[in-house]
Each structure stands twice: as C-alpha cells, then as structure tokens.
Structure 1
Amino acid sequence: MIKHFRIKNNFLLSGLFFLVTLFSVGSSLVSCSDSEKIVTQTEEKIVYVDGNWMVVASKEVTVMTGESVTLNVSVGGEEELKPEYICTSKDANIATVAVSEDNNSIIITGVADGSTAISIECPTNTKPLVATIPVTVKQNAIRILAIGNSFSQDAVEQYLYELAEAAGYELIIGNMYIGGCDLDKHWANFQSDAAAYEYRKIVKGEKVGKTGYKLSQGLADENWDYISLQQASGKSGKYETYTVLADLIAGIKERCPKAKLLWHQTWAYASSSTHESFPDYDSNQMTMYSSIVTAARQAMTDHTDLSLLIPSGTAIQNGRTSFLGDAFNRDGYHLEVTYGRYTAACTWFEMITGQNVVGNPYAPETIDPQVVKIAQNAAHYAVQKPDEVTDLVDFKQPEISDTDLKAPIYIDFGPTSLSATPWNNITSHQESSTTSWIKDAENNYTNIGVRVLDGFTATHAGVGSEPASPVTVDGVEFPLTAWKDGLLVKGEKNQGDVGPGRIEISQLDVARKYNFTILAIRFNGSKDARISSYKLVGKTESAVKEVKTGIKDAASFAAANFEEYIAKFENVEPDSEGKVIVEVKGIDTGSAAEGHINALCISLAK
C-alpha cells in the first residue's frame, strides 16, 4: 500500500511569502545557523537557506512494515534550483527511502518495527537544503500462506498465531490444504486452476475453512509476505521428485512478486512408523532425516528464489534427543498434537520473526513447562543449525522432586480432546519405542513411565455430540476431554474376540502395591453393543473384568451409573522389573467386536 502526501497549494502561494517576510524582519523562529531557518507547519516541513527553500509534504511519517508513503517535495527561491535530491535513511533496516522517477517526490518504505529518520538534501550554490523527517515504522500484520498438506496443517494451524501474538506480532495465516499432496499435484492444480483445496485461514486467532478453493484464489486473497512450499512427506527426502519445483516457483512469483518464498523442511517418521513410504528409507528414522535435510538444502541451492528454509524436521529431531524420546508423532508420521505441533510452530515463529523463541510466554496449558522448554530449545537450535541434530543435553530427564508417588496419576488416552494439567495425554495408538514420563495430580513429574506396546488398531475421536459434562466416579472427576476419546482394539463382528491392546506402566516400586481404575465410555452406542475386557499383568495376573461401554444419548448419560463404566483393580503388585501391563480386549457381541480405553488412574494402595 502506498500513501501520497502532497503540498497544499494555498500554503505554497501564501505561506512561503509569509515565511520569507518573517525571515526578513528577523523573527525568532528555530535557528539552525545565521543563514538557515526551519519552520515546521502542521503538515509540511520547510527548510530556508540563503533565499532558497525546500518544502516537504509532511513533517513526520508513520508507516506500516511492507507499506510505502510518498511525500511530494518542491524547491525554489533566488536560484533556479533543480529538483535533484540525495536521500538517505539513518537506519535502512527500519525504513528505506528512494527518489521517484520524476524527481518530484520521495518514497519511504517501512521495513521493520522501530524509529529512524530520513534526510533529503538538495544542493545549492551555497549551503545545501537539508530536511530531516522522523519516521516511525509500525509492525503490519505478517501474512503467511502455506501451500501444502497435513504436514503444513501440523506446523502452522495451531499455536503459531498465539506465539506471535505473545511477542507483539499480528499474523494472518493461510493454508492451502490437500491431504498428502505432492509438488506434482500442486503444479497440476496451478496449471488447471483446479478448485481442489480446502483453504484454512486464521485471522485474529480465529480459523475459518472454505472448500473448493483454487490456488489462484488463495494467492490473490492477501498481499502475502511469505509463501511456503513443501514436498509430500514420503517424497521429501527424494530430490529427484522435485522436478516441477522451478515451474511452481516461477508461477507463484509471477502472481505474487513481492512475497518471499519459503521451503518447509518436514520431519522424519517415528522409528515404529508403518507408513507405506517408510521402507523407501529402509524404515530407518535417521536415514529418512538425513535424506530430507539433503534434499531441502539442494532445493535451496538450486532455487535462489527460495528465501528461507523452515527447519521443522531438524527441530523435531532435536526434540527426540530429550527425555521425550521418539514420541513426537501421533500415528507414526503426523505430529503429536500438543508439544509436537508446538515444536514446529516455534520453528516457524523464530524463522519468520527473527526473534528467539526461547522464553516466549505462550504455551497451551496442555503442555508441561519442562516440555515447553524442550520444544522452544529444539526449535531455536534448529534455526541455528538447520542441517544437523543438536543433542539437548540439558533435557535428558525431567526434574523429579520425589521418587515416591505422593499423589494419584491421571492418564487421558486419545488423539483429539486433550486434557489440561494434571492429566497426562497419550495421543497415539501406535506402538512406541519411548516411555513417556508421567506427572502426578500435583503437577510433579514422577519416575513412573507409560508406553503403548502393541495390539491397538485405531483411535476413537468421539462423535461430537457428547454432553459437555465431567464424569465423576470412584472419587475422580474425568473431564469431557478424558472420557470422550480413546484407544481402540477393533475387529469384525462374528469373527471372535479381538486384542489384546497392551499398555506398559513401568518403574513402579516393586515393594509397593497400586490401585488402577480404567474408564471406558462409548457415547452414541447401545450399552450392550460393545464390551471391553481388561486384565492387568504384574507380579501375578489379575482376574478379567468387563465393561459394557455404550451410552446411547444425553438422557442416558444423565441417568447413567458410572460405576458400571469403570474396571477397578486394587492392590496390584508390579513384576520384578517394576512393570504392570494393562491388556484391553474387545468382546465379540454379534453387534461389534471392539475394546477401548478412555482414561486410567493410578494411585498407591493404602
């Protein structure tokens, strides 16, 4: 956006005459020297030297970053002065200045938030005419458009806006989304202008989605400051699949010439991933990571229109060196929805703003403060060293105040509705190679760990019509976020029981006994249609307990006896290694064969 300021004609006709008259009678105006005086009117700025004058259309300027202000400049007086100006900015990192082609104006462009000054000099036969204009640059909204897939969804649609807002930046974020979309498909859609995208846009922190959107519409929707590109995850480490990147870049630059283009370096899959593309990297996480780094760097080298690399992949790999381990994915390839996505957002924030993300005050309440530090540091080190892993040596284990369990432990299983502190969230049904450190109800880390082993086949996200009410049973209040979703072990009806899905609780005190309470609710289901069975294996095997999990509707929920929806095991002793295995099966009822677990509570037996 360019704003124009012009000199008022009435001022030029009468004001200058008045000015010269004042000078001639020795008035007490601001004096720069015996022969030079400056008068600043409400808008215009006038410099008078030895009978010559220069008028600038504004005495000061306020401009937004990325926008320009044009000021009309005139000269005259005793000499036949030509409109020839030398313009300089005191700090070109804050604002730049240029002379227009016709020499009748100057153009001031905001670069970064701050204050500076520009000087305008016109030579004369004696002393030059020099006007200094203070410039204040205010941060405009930074506009970011991602052209991607679910990996750009993981990176920019959550937490990035809030991180920026906490640091004083306003963002407008767009994501042109097609699940699994690769560069070839983006280029084909660009050429055909296919209405193939879901356009997710975040303005003032609110996200709105539109379907049937075209790339041409997304590119034209805002004056984008940044536009990011990325390859589909399985191809991201195979540079030979980037063949259309040059064409896509050229097409975007033609439509959005002022936008800076970014390359989003995506992340390697979890070591246990079953993604169909993982064997292309020998099913080895570090092989995949190294391939992605190499391909991304080659893209930056070969395509100089790519201005910035966003090293999300390195940030995630850095995070995996912490006590969180290889637990940054919810399904083996998409990011874990709290600290996983937050780590990627931190990386984008620091690359876009240039501000160190470590210490940023924003973090969702579902992320523990120690984990926030891991995410922020993982991102910061990735920005500093985008092509190599930084070992987070200061985060190898959490700070544990006491090895004894002083308060109960609450664990919420499921991918979508995350529970706030003091709940621990386990979002993936995939087998994990990493044990998650668990906090107690007083928000202190314990030395007890939890890990999904094997057997679970899916997650259940809930149906969306659940009553927004907690379930209180056995002295524990389970929020909606804890009972709505869960992990599933699912088979075909009339084909027999399914499972078990297994969860390992480790590092328990072998000299102590523990109580376990399992909650299982399947809303919008008939009570008898689904039956889950549970068994605990520690020093000994427990008896099997079954729960009919269905609750049909809100009326049934209001009338429910929730004691019927828990399986309680008391005085459980861990095995010699301090472990207890929770086994979940689905009983074939003829209507369904499905077992699940929503939440788990662990406490010391009295």
Structure 2
Amino acid sequence: MKIEIKQYFDSITRYAAALAVAVCSLALTQSVHAQAATSIEKQSLKILGLGNSFLKNATNMLPGIVKDSGHELILGVAAPGGCTIQRHYDAALLGEANPEDPKAKLYDYNNQKMTLKEMLTAEKWDYVTIQQSSPNSFKIDTYRPYAQNLYDYIKKYTPQAEVVFHQTWAWRPDHNRQNMDKNPPGFMYQELTRNYNTIAKEVGIKKIIPVGNAFQLAEETPEWKFARDPDFDYHNPKYPELPQEPNSLNGGFAWRGTDGADKVFKLDGSHANGAGSYLAACVWYEFFFGGDVRKITRNPRFLGERAASLREFAHQAVNGTRPKAWPSGTSPE
C-alpha cells in the first residue's frame, strides 16, 4: 500500500512539473509573439503638412495620440495663418529666385526659418499633405492651377513622398463670414467636399484625409448638432458672460481685445475648438497609422465620456462612411 501511495505522489509530482514547464513555455511563447507583434505593428512616419491654422487645429493633439499608441512620428507643420495653396506656391517660386528672400521663408522648422524647398528637403518625408484655406475651400477656381503647380513642386523635391489632400471642415451654421449663414444647410460642406474630390482627380492625388466628413458625421447627430444657448442674450451680451454651446466643434464666442469696456464679443465659427481638434487628430491617426482609433487610450479630460463618440465618427469617416449631406454626383478617391 505504501508503495502504491508513493507511486501515486511521484506521478502527481511529475505531472505538476510537466505542467509547470508547459505553462512557462506557453508564457514565453506568448511573450515572444507579443514582442514580435509589437515590433511588426510599430510604425515610424514622417509627415509634412502644408496648410494654415486649420492644419494646426488638426494636428496639435496628434503627437500625443501617436506616442500613446506606441508609434513614432516626425511632424512638420508648415502653416502660416490663412495661407492659400496659391500663396504656398508663390512663396516657393520666390525661394527659387532668392533663397534668402524673407517673403519666401514662410515656415518654421527646428527653430529655423525656411523656404518651401528647405522644408521639403529637411527630412525624408513619407507623406506631404496640402489643403486650401478655409475661406477659399468652397471656391473651386481658387485651386486652379495652383494645386497642380504645388503638387508638381512637392514631387520635384520629395519624389518618395505620397501627397494627400487634407479635407478641411465647414463653418458653424451661425458663422456669417462671406454671408455663409445665408446659404442652405450643408452648402459649405458639400462645395468643399466636391472641390477636394474634383481637384484630387485632376492633380493625381489618390487619398484624402476625411476630416471634413468626420465633422459632418458628428454634426448630423443629436449629440453634436450645433444649437445656440437658449438662455443667453446674444444681442446684448454682458462681459464676461459666455453662452453654453457644448455641442459645437468650432471655436465659438469669446471676449476679445483688452480689458473691460474695450473687449468685443466675437464669434470664431470656423476654427476647431478642443473637441474639433481631437476629432481631427483621431482622423489623422487612423488615416496614417491604420490602427482602430476607437481603441486609443488618450482621452482629453474636458471631453470625458463624449470623446468615445468622436473617435467613432473619426473611424467611420476613415472607413468610408458618407454623411447624409454628401454631395450628389461626387465620387470619393
């Protein structure tokens, strides 16, 4: 009987030892596989954006998202305020004629003033993005012939880079610049979307970063459909009071100027606010890095749980979901 018990315990011991070896082996295998997957999935990209303040809006949260997601990004932001496609190209020509011309050195990179040629050759860029200024984005004549000229100039100095369009977004419905508030709902979105797609085909640009689509998708839902504060007197505002407009993706109202009576109650209905900037950065992340942006961990404190819905709209836009206001007869790239 003692022999049988000893044999039983010896068997148990051998089984436990074998199981421990198997578990350790499995854990080691999983660890190796995880490390391999991480090394395969990790990406390092160099992206140069040519634009204006809308480019800054779209990318100011991007580096943090990329870093938190385990990737690497070198980002060049060539974004003089209000800069049009034509101005970028005109400055490039000035730089060709005289590289020291201050009017040609529109850009700042690595604490240096640079011409467009210098920006294009500062890194071996993987992508170069271009965009029209917002006030011109819905006017197709402002793209021609400058988009083609700028594209050709970029390819001359960065033949390895893919040039993509950055589709900007429409203004708030109550933004009265250029009488935009007098146009039918969706007018600006439809026109700029049509223009980006049309010019992309003409120029040979194969991809468009669908930030404008993401804004529109969000604004077509109750959560992000813009509405003015019903309890605020917009006609007789009193400093320093401001309206509550939590659904807005644009800058909104602010008191601008010096102190007290000199301050002016003004609307910025074009630029992105914090929510809009987060949405745009999410679009850029999934567009360039390919990861499902709904799974990222960076969540701005000021957005709280609402950030998840913006990530969802970014994901939908990158994966081809069209807003209800998508312009008829327009084929996406």
Q: TM-score, normalised by structure 1?
A: 0.38
1:342, 1:387 → 2: CA distance? Answer: 20
Partner of 2:249: 328
Map of 1:510-549 to 2, 5 A cutoff?
A: none
Map of 1:319-468 to 2, 5 A cutoff?
A: 319-322=218-221, 323-326=223-226, 327-330=248-251, 331-336=268-273, 338-369=274-305, 371-385=306-320, 387-389=322-324
Residue 114 of structure 1, CA deviation: 6.5
Partner of 1:235: 136
1:162, 1:169 → 2: CA distance? Answer: 10
1:199 to 98, 108, 124: 108
Matched, 1:181 2:90: no
Residue 350 of structure 1, CA deviation: 0.7
Residue deviations 1:296-317 (CA, integer Å, cap 9, x gap):
111222222x232101111111
8 Å contact from structure 2 (residues 186, 325) kept in 1: no
Relative distance call for 1:162 and 1:246 in structure 2 (3 A) is: same
Q: TM-score, normalised by structure 2?
A: 0.68
Map of 1:26-175 to 2, 5 A cutoff?
A: 139-156=42-59, 158-175=60-77
Residue 229 of structure 1, CA deviation: 0.2
8 Å contact from structure 1 (residues 144, 172) kept in 2: yes
Residue deviations 1:201-253 (CA, integer Å, cap 9, x gap):
xxxxxxx6x46421112111111111000001011122221111111111110
Residue 274 of structure 1, CA deviation: 2.6
8 Å contact from structure 2 (residues 51, 132) kept in 1: yes
Two-structure CA RMSD over aligned residues (Å): 2.4
Read off the aligned partner of 2:143 and give its amino acid letter: Y
2:41, 2:249 → 1: CA distance? Answer: 37
Segments of 4+ moved more than 6 angstroms? none
Read off the aligned partner of 2:115 and give its amino acid letter: K
Matched, 1:290 2:190: yes
2:324, 2:166 → 1: CA distance? Answer: 17
1:187, 1:166 → 2: CA distance? Answer: 35
Partner of 1:271: 173
8 Å contact from structure 1 (residues 293, 387) kept in 2: no
1:386, 1:290 → 2: CA distance? Answer: 15
Relative distance call for 1:317 and 1:138 in structure 2 (3 A) is: closer
8 Å contact from structure 1 (residues 227, 260) kept in 2: yes
8 Å contact from structure 1 (residues 271, 283) kept in 2: no
Relative distance call for 1:114 and 1:258 in structure 2 (3 A) is: farther
Read off the aligned partner of 1:252 and give its amino acid letter: I
Relative distance call for 1:277 and 1:149 in structure 2 (3 A) is: farther
1:242, 1:355 → 2: CA distance? Answer: 32
Compare the two structures and name the one with the higher helix fraction: 2
8 Å contact from structure 2 (residues 190, 325) kept in 1: no
8 Å contact from structure 1 (residues 346, 376) kept in 2: yes
Residue 348 of structure 1, CA deviation: 0.6
1:341, 1:269 → 2: CA distance? Answer: 14
Relative distance call for 1:251 and 1:359 in structure 2 (3 A) is: same
2:68, 2:129 → 1: CA distance? Answer: 23
8 Å contact from structure 1 (residues 382, 390) kept in 2: no
1:329, 1:189 → 2: CA distance? Answer: 30
1:222 to 123, 126, 130: 123
Map of 1:481-520 to 2, 5 A cutoff?
A: none
Residue 387 of structure 1, CA deviation: 4.8
1:264, 1:213 → 2: CA distance? Answer: 22
Compare the two structures and name the one with the higher strand fraction: 1
1:293, 1:376 → 2: CA distance? Answer: 21
8 Å contact from structure 1 (residues 189, 215) kept in 2: yes
8 Å contact from structure 1 (residues 267, 316) kept in 2: yes
Relative distance call for 1:294 and 1:390 in structure 2 (3 A) is: closer
Partner of 1:248: 150
1:180 alignment partner, SS class: coil
Instruction: Kindly tell me the number of residue pairs found equivalent between the two proteins.
Output: 245
Identity fraction in percent: 27
